[in-house]
Homo-oligomer: A and B are copies of this chain.
Amino acid sequence: MQRNAIMLVSRIHEAADKWIAAELAAAGLKGVVPSHGDVLALLFRQKEATMHELAAFARRTKPTMTVLVGKLERMGLVRRSQSPLDARCQIVRLTAEGEKLRPAFESISRRLAGRAYAGLSPADARRLEAALSKMLAGFENPKPERTQP
């Protein structure tokens, strides 16, 4: 066996997503998925964003973002309006209702980090991040790997 790391990564990703979804549900956001969280996270940070910016930030396609923002709008958390500067752009903003979620979000974010790094020394954490960065680079820059075909 040796492809353990990929399996572990996959399982951590799923476990973290599930944990986040559960925390969001506990905060009153039933049926909200991590991608919705990414949308809100950007809006907490910068007050308004275009669909395009949101899609890039959440690493989702534009059609997906149309769906995600549509749901958040139906939930009353964000509002869409046309940009006065560029008639193609939709400006997305938090509603007052959405703004209320900020503290819950920050709590989840903090607790997520706490849980992920629990039991790791700062040195361990640094080494882990370095190794993961290298692994990611290996997938994103298609460098030929040496293994028998």
Binding stretch for chain B, among A42-50, A61-69, A77-85, A121-129: A121-129
Q: Is A74 an interface residue (CB 8 A)?
A: no
Q: Please name all residues of chain B whose beta carbon is closer than 8 Å to the beta carbon of A111 when the two chains form the complex.
A: 145, 147, 149
Q: 1/0 per residue A107-149: CB within 8 Å of B?
A: 1011111111111100011011101111110111001011111
Question: Which among B5, B110, B127, B140 is the interface contact of A129 at CB below 8 angstroms?
Answer: B5
Are B134 and A115 in touch, CB under 8 angstroms? no
Q: Please name all residues of chain B whose beta carbon is closer than 8 Å to the beta carbon of A3 when the two chains form the complex.
A: 109, 112-113, 116
Q: Please name all residues of chain B whose beta carbon is closer than 8 Å to the beta carbon of A120 when the two chains form the complex.
A: 131, 134-135
Number of copies of this chain that the complex holds = 2
Are A12 and B139 in touch, CB under 8 angstroms? yes
Are B118 and A15 in touch, CB under 8 angstroms? no
Q: How far is the CA of A132 from the CA of B113 in the complex (A)?
A: 14
Q: Is A26 an interface residue (CB 8 A)?
A: no
Q: How far is the CA of A110 from the CA of B1 in the complex (A)?
A: 10
